[in-house]
Homo-oligomer: A and B are copies of this chain.
Amino acid sequence: MTRASSRRPGPPTRTERGIPEATVARLPVYLRALTALSDSGIATASSEDLATAAGVNSAKLRKDLSYLGSYGTRGVGYDVEYLRYQIAREIGVTQDWAVVIVGIGNLGHALANYSGFGTRGFRIVALLDADPKLVGERIGDMEVRDFAELEHIVETDRVSIGVITTPAGPAQEVCDRLVAAGVTSILNFAPVVLSVPDGVDIRKVDLSIELQILAYHEQRKSGEVALPQVPELPATNALTPDLPAVGGGVIA
């Protein structure tokens, strides 16, 4: 509340062309839905059609789109190609983004083999690993290179996005190197909380967390009322009594 002139309750905030985060997260879904419609030869779609294709409700979709501008036509709907272009431009996928992947193990290999990135908006410019045995291996039309080349590659290819698929242990160190080299957006698959300086964006993908969230809901579907019995509180902060061993491990 220090700036932003005189803000009354008003709309969500929308700081000078700033789009609400929840909306930003849905734009890629709309983009994909539009592409699907386009591929089906559909030229115009109503908010209802689009909302169905994107799995949201139509009021939300219209409000989301309204943050970008007025790209629809009342009584008609949206021109699929035109809207697709507008969203792509807003997200920034009209240009190509250079990406490096660090840690070419199980997951790194899968990502490297994946054609979905290359096709649209993202270009993988390097696969990096610290393991000398992996360096030089060919994956598709790329070759695994030594992690030491990071700084050089980032500078040469103007890399702004880094993907971390190393084990949890070295992830923070790798992250620091990426940031120092000039990478300002990071997608992290390692199950650790990474800390980055201001100005660097970080997102994480965490399988174990997703499964655990599902487990929570699953538990309450079946058990419903019958939750496992709670062991009595420890008398004081006594040195941990014998509780069943349970997980959520650091390695998980």
Contact = CB atoms under 8 A, between A and B. Distances in A.
Contacts of A228: 89, 94-95
Contact of A213 (B28, B89, B212, B248): B28
Interface string A197-209: 0010101011111
Interface in A201-252: 201, 203, 205-222, 227-228, 230-231, 233-234, 236-237, 239-241, 243-244, 246-252
A31 B203 contact: no
A106 interface: yes
Interface residues of A, number: 103
Contact of A106 (B110, B185, B231, B236): B110
B99 A211 contact: yes
A209 to B, nearest CB: 4
A92 B246 contact: no
24 contacts: A25-B209, A28-B208, A28-B248, A29-B193, A32-B250, A43-B239, A53-B193, A54-B193, A73-B236, A80-B240, A82-B233, A84-B248, A85-B246, A91-B248, A92-B212, A93-B247, A93-B248, A94-B246, A97-B211, A117-B207, A117-B211, A120-B208, A184-B221, A185-B215
